[in-house]
Amino acid sequence: MQNREIRVQVLAFINLKKLCVSIFHMKSIRIAFTLLTTLPFRAPAEWLPGDSGRAAGWYPLVGLVIGLLVAAAHALAGKIFPPMVSAALALFVWVALTGGLHLDGLSDCCDGLLHASNPEKRLQIMKDSHIGAFGAIGLGLALLLKFAALASLTPERAAPAILLAASLGRWAILPAGFQPLARPGGLGADFASGLAKSSLITGAILPLALAALLGMSGLLALIIPLTGVFGLLRFARARIGGVTGDVFGLLVETTEILTLLTLTT
């Protein structure tokens, strides 16, 4: 009888543990979608410091969902409109799904990182809500390159390329979270405080699987964007001493663009 009671208690504990893990994952997924998209996910009522980093393992999944919606829009538009129009519509959906969050970071980085000044002044410029000449040019070029890549993809290659670009782009945030912070506080600091090294591995599974489906082209579509990511991280450390939330946005956009461009060849 005593052994039976012990087994019952052990099973109850295991089930409780599974329930807690499930609830934690659901919370993390909601946080990931709330942070990275405009999709109607309700933010958790209890949002603790570091939760954005603890949800990082789900970021590539968020990218996959974004990619699926963009790829669907691109495919549907392609049945009605010529390639340039369908590419423009797909790009509109892509920007709308993210609320321009990463593009904002890209433009801020162009204004700040390229400014001929000291790190403190560059950080001050990046925090300014106004867009400057470098930011406007960088934003325009980023949108133009992404549009050109979408318009150049073959119908067979378009969907896999979009899925990989969106998923890998969100994974690119993860290694940045282990870099020195350029300023205390903010989203970047909150993300870094909760980020675990295991998220790098679990988060990489999805982009790696998507790249494998593309064969050798997929391998190149990993190597080239990630080379760009680590180059930008070195550049950010040299210019402002580390990373910020804006740098995360720059990495996402750069990774997406380089992935798409690689897969147009």
Output the pLDDT for position 42: 82
Range from 18-22, 185-189, 207-211, 260-264 carrying the lowest mean pLDDT: 18-22
pLDDT higher than 60, residue 161: yes
Output the pLDDT for position 217: 95
Q: What is the pLDDT of residues 36-60, one digit of tens each?
A: 999 998 877 778 889 999 999 999 9
**CA distance linking residue 229 with residue 165, whole number of Å:** 13
Contact 151, 84 (CB under 8 A): yes
Backbone angles phi and psi of 138, in degrees to 5: -60, -40
Q: How far apart are the first and last CA of the chain?
A: 70
Strands (E), 41-154: none
16 or 164, higher pLDDT: 164
Q: What is the pLDDT of residues 104-114, one digit of tens each?
A: 999 999 999 99
Q: How many residues does the chain have?
A: 265
pLDDT higher than 60, residue 12: no
Helix, strand, coil percentages, rounded to 5, for the chain: 80, 0, 20
Q: What is the pLDDT of residues 225-254, one digit of tens each?
A: 999 999 999 999 999 999 999 999 999 999
User: Helix 59-78 crosses helix 197-212 at what angle (to 10 degrees)?
Assistant: 30
pTM of this structure: 0.89
**CA distance linking residue 101 with residue 244, whole number of Å:** 14
